Amino acid sequence: MIRFRLALAALFALPATAIAQTTPQTDPALSEQGPYRWGIGFGAVALDSPFAGEGTRINPIPLVLFEGERFFFRGISGGAHLVNGNSFGLDAIVALRLDGVDAKDLGAAELARNGIDRALLEDRDHGVDVGLAGVWRVGAGELELTAKGDVTGTSDGYELTARYGYAIDIGRGQLTPSISVSHLSKDLANYYYGTRDAEVARGVVDYAPGSATVTSVGLTYLRPIGQRWQLLTRLQYSVLPGALSDSPLLEPDRDGVGSVLVGVSWGF
């Protein structure tokens, strides 16, 4: 069957912590390849958005997966294996950053309580990142380091992430607890969490958080269903530093974000 981890690589490339303004990297448990190179499936991610008045955000996730000897495509990310050894791998990656938010999706009353008129805000757009991802494998554990930056001129920022996960076999399934730390550059954090110059010129409060570090913990469970299907689930919680949680675009006193991802895929 297509390897659980491959399908989850696509699922977890999506913004489970969009509210932390980090598009998650491939989970450290999700790097091996099974007998099937192609996979299709669907899933959904639900996250408790900290943005003022947005509430729970639920996004459907179409999964289209390909894992070749040199190239790969995993949902919203893809790339090429530059080094593909048993204990170390290095990939060149291209990934969508789906951290954008439409101003109309925020609550006018909630923003007003923060001193902001929603009509004066601009949308925060999605972007495209390009970078490198290196993985070190020792036994059941994997350490992944990723560096990627915006190439669309959306934020002109970059993100550095270190993630570690350890896979534990439980019956027919596999449970992988993980922890990650992501550094968001000043431009990246300011774009998604701060107020824009054009907004300030209209009378919106001037807020720029500067660079920030977001810590996340996750729990992944993978289980086969028959010969080709697999069930994919993940829980994740991200801690927002004060520079981000103090943003007037967010609900007051929100210092953390939880998310749940569920999906199934079929390999061929």
Q: How far apart are the first and last CA of the chain?
A: 8
> Is 8 a residue whose pLDDT tops 70?
no
In the numeric block, which tokens belong to residue 161?
A: 């992430």
Structure-token match 């008129």, residue found: 117
Tell me the average pLDDT across 117-146.
96
Q: Per-residue confidence at 226, pLDDT binned at 50, 70, 90? A: confident
Q: Per-residue confidence at 25, pLDDT binned at 50, 70, 90? A: very low
CB atoms within 10 A of CB 104: 10
pLDDT of residue 65: 85
Tell me the average pLDDT across 116-129.
97
The b-or-e profile of 228-240 (16+ CB within 10 A means b, else e) is: ebbbbbbebbbeb
In the numeric block, which tokens belong to residue 40?
A: 């299709």
Each residue of 165-202: pLDDT tens digit? 999 999 999 999 999 999 999 999 999 999 999 999 99
Q: Per-residue confidence at 50, pLDDT binned at 50, 70, 90? A: very high
Cβ burial of 200 (10 Å; 0-12, 13-18, 19+) is middle
Q: Per-residue confidence at 35, pLDDT binned at 50, 70, 90? A: low
Q: Specify whether the CB–CB gap between 222 and 5 falls below 8 A.
A: yes
Tell me the average pLDDT across 149-156.
97
Q: Per-residue confidence at 63, pLDDT binned at 50, 70, 90? A: confident
Tell me the average pLDDT across 27-34.
41
> Is 134 a residue whose pLDDT tops 60?
yes
> Is 13 a residue whose pLDDT tops 60?
no
DSSP 72-136: EEETTEEEEEEEE-SSEEEEEEEEEE---B-GGGS-HHHHHHTT--GGG--PBPPEEEEEEEEEE
pLDDT of residue 27: 46
Sign of CA dihedral 147, 60, 16, 179: negative
> Is 216 a residue whose pLDDT tops 90?
yes
CB atoms within 10 A of CB 76: 22
Tell me the average pLDDT across 54-71.
87
Tell me the average pLDDT across 20-35.
42
Tell me the average pLDDT across 232-242.
95
* CATH number of the domain residue 20 falls in: 2.40.160.40
pLDDT of residue 39: 87
Q: Specify whether the CB–CB gap between 259 and 236 falls below 8 A.
A: yes
Least confident segment among 16-20, 68-72, 115-119, 240-244 = 16-20
- How far, in Å, CA of 44 to CA of 229, rounded? 17
Q: Specify whether the CB–CB gap between 179 and 216 falls below 8 A.
A: yes
Comparing 55 with 150, the larger pLDDT belongs to 150
Name 136's bridge partners.
88, 143
In the numeric block, which tokens belong to residue 226?
A: 């028959």
Domain count, the chain: 1
Q: Specify whether the CB–CB gap between 71 and 35 falls below 8 A.
A: no
Name 176's bridge partners.
220
Structure-token match 């943005």, residue found: 51
Least confident segment among 39-53, 117-131, 198-212, 239-253 = 39-53
Least confident segment among 20-29, 61-70, 192-201, 232-241 = 20-29
Q: Domain range holding 17?
A: 4-267
Tell me the average pLDDT across 194-222.
97
DSSP 118-157: GGG--PBPPEEEEEEEEEEEETTEEEEEEEEEE-SSSS--
